[in-house]
Amino acid sequence: MKNINKTIGILGFALMIIACQKQDDYKEFTKAGEIVYPAKIDSLKILSGNGRIKVSGALNPDPKVVRFRVFWNSKLDSVDVPVKRTGGVDSVNYIISNLEEGPLSFEVRTYDSEGHISVPMNVVGNVYGERYRSALNNRAILSTEFNTQGEAKLKFQDIAAASGTVGMQIRYKHIDNTTHDTVVVAQLKDQVVTLPKFKGNPIEYRIINKPDPLSIDQFYSNYETLSLKGEISAIYLKNNMVPFKRSAYDNNRWGDLADWVTNSAMKNHNGMGGYASDNDGIINIEAGWGSSAITNGKIYQIITLPPGRYSFTSELSDNNYDGNPPAYIVAAAGTGIPNVEALGTALGSTAVKNNRFEFELKQTTVVSLGMVLSFNTDHYMKIRSLRLYAL
């Protein structure tokens, strides 16, 4: 029993010695005072950007914190940022530029006025650049249409939020011949964009992307040039469908079409022709029944079209015209249309009974669109519309 008590006493004494030694070591380690860690940046974030990032967060009201340092590239690179305290919670916003594209790890520490250093804060950020931008694909345009107000409507493909597309930038020719530049906020589904006072093809457009919702920069894809398709009559033609308007009238039935050039051969009703008050106003060509024959009678409008493929169409009013002799719809370069026997010189033509033809322009061209015919006696033809389409 004595031996056991003796052993316990020896062990207790040894523990006392060890405890005293550790206390002495702690005193030696902290002999200059307690270890002090300055307040860290709260809610620290690294926001992505184009060749740059933004350090964002908040500093709690610790008046001793006077600066912070950001390290990256395995601490080979760093920047020291002073902070001005206001006595409350202060925002931290600092941009680091000239960074290589790709993910980067950052270490952030704060420093107080006495030289104390905070514990490290580690966060990963992404730097974007030309690799990201060059990989952007334009949002597809599914369909286009044009209305009677001269507006172009573009229907865009649906997209997912993850695509990062926040908008589209569109450049087009305005009716006043200036280039109109518009930016449209992106919608994910069923987006239709209206271009008012649209002058004509082509348009240029590109998407605007953000790599992530908090990115400090936007990225633009390459412009894509596109010719819109659809009926463009309202943009280029005037007075092209029933009820047609007249510029002169005999107060009975016959008159001249407003906005169209009508040659003298077509005016075979006491100096008027091409227009009749039937159907509240219609193109009516009639020879015979007391009126003279028509030889190379012409009706046309002169417009300027950009390069592209087009279709010109006619719509007969009824089936009383048998197509013999033929009347022709025609497109010709310049300020007039050829005679029937010279239609081979035109950009395109077809018999009115065929309804449509196509033609192509390689450059911006002054074009005359209309019809030419030679009618013997006792023939007539009514037309409800003449229309132009971009293909």
Tell whether 286 and 372 lie within a shared domain. Answer: yes
User: 95-144 pLDDT, tens per residue?
Assistant: 999 999 999 999 999 999 888 999 999 999 999 999 999 999 999 999 99
Above 70 in pLDDT, residue 273? yes
Instruction: Say if 97 falls within a structural domain.
Output: yes
Buried b (16+ CB within 10 A) or exposed e, 92-113: beeebeebeeeebebebbbbbe
| Listed residues 178, 197, 228: the one ending a domain | 228
CATH assignment of the domain containing 271: 2.60.120
CA distances to 160, 186, 207 from 224, in Å: 21, 17, 10
Residue 344 maps to a domain: yes
Domain membership of residue 314 (yes or no) is: yes
CA–chain centroid gap for 82, Å, is: 42
- Statement to judge: residues 258 and 342 lie in one domain: yes
Which residues, 6 or more positions from 382, have their beta carbon under 8 angstroms from its beta carbon? 276, 278, 279, 282, 283, 284, 285, 316, 317, 318, 320, 321
Q: Is the pLDDT of residue 10 over 50?
A: no
User: Same structural domain for residues 264 and 299?
Assistant: yes
pLDDT at 318 over 80: no
Establish if 234 belongs to a structural domain. Answer: no
Query: Residue 316's pLDDT is what?
Result: 93
Say whether both 190 and 319 belong to one domain: no
pLDDT tens figures, 18-30 = 444 444 443 333 4
4 located within any domain: no
382 and 284 within one domain = yes
Residues 266, 374, single domain; the answer is yes
Last residue within a domain, chosen from 92, 108, 127: 127
User: CA–CA separation, 293 vs 272, rounded Å?
Assistant: 14
**One domain for residues 257 and 386:** yes
What is the per-residue pLDDT for 148?
Answer: 81
269 falls within a domain: yes
How much is the average pLDDT of 55-59? 95
Q: What is the pLDDT of residues 342-372, one digit of tens each?
A: 999 999 999 999 999 999 999 999 999 999 9
- For 166-203, the pLDDT digits (tens) are 999 999 999 888 999 999 999 999 999 999 999 888 99
- My answer on whether 121 and 199 are in the same domain is no
Residue 233: strand, helix, or coil: helix
**372 in the same domain as 295:** yes
pLDDT at 1: 47
In a domain, 162, yes or no: yes
Q: Are residues 255 and 370 in the same domain?
A: yes
Other Cβ atoms less than 10 A from the Cβ of 391: the count is 12
Total domains in the fold of the chain: 3
The torsion angles phi and psi of 57, rounded to 5 degrees, stand at 170, -160
Give the residue from 110, 102, 95 showing the smallest Cα distance to 42.
110
Question: Could you tell me the residue range of the domain that residue 156 belongs to?
Answer: 136-228
CATH at residue 162: 2.60.40.10
Residues 268, 210, single domain; the answer is no
Same domain, yes or no, for 251 and 331?
yes
Is the residue at 346 inside a domain?
yes
d(CA 190, CA 147): 19
CB of 289 closer than 8 Å to CB of 365: no
Domain boundary at 127, 158, 182, which?
Answer: 127
Instruction: Give the predicted TM-score (pTM) of the model.
Output: 0.74
Give the separation between CA 48 and CA 209, rounded to whole angstroms: 13
- At 334 the pLDDT is 97
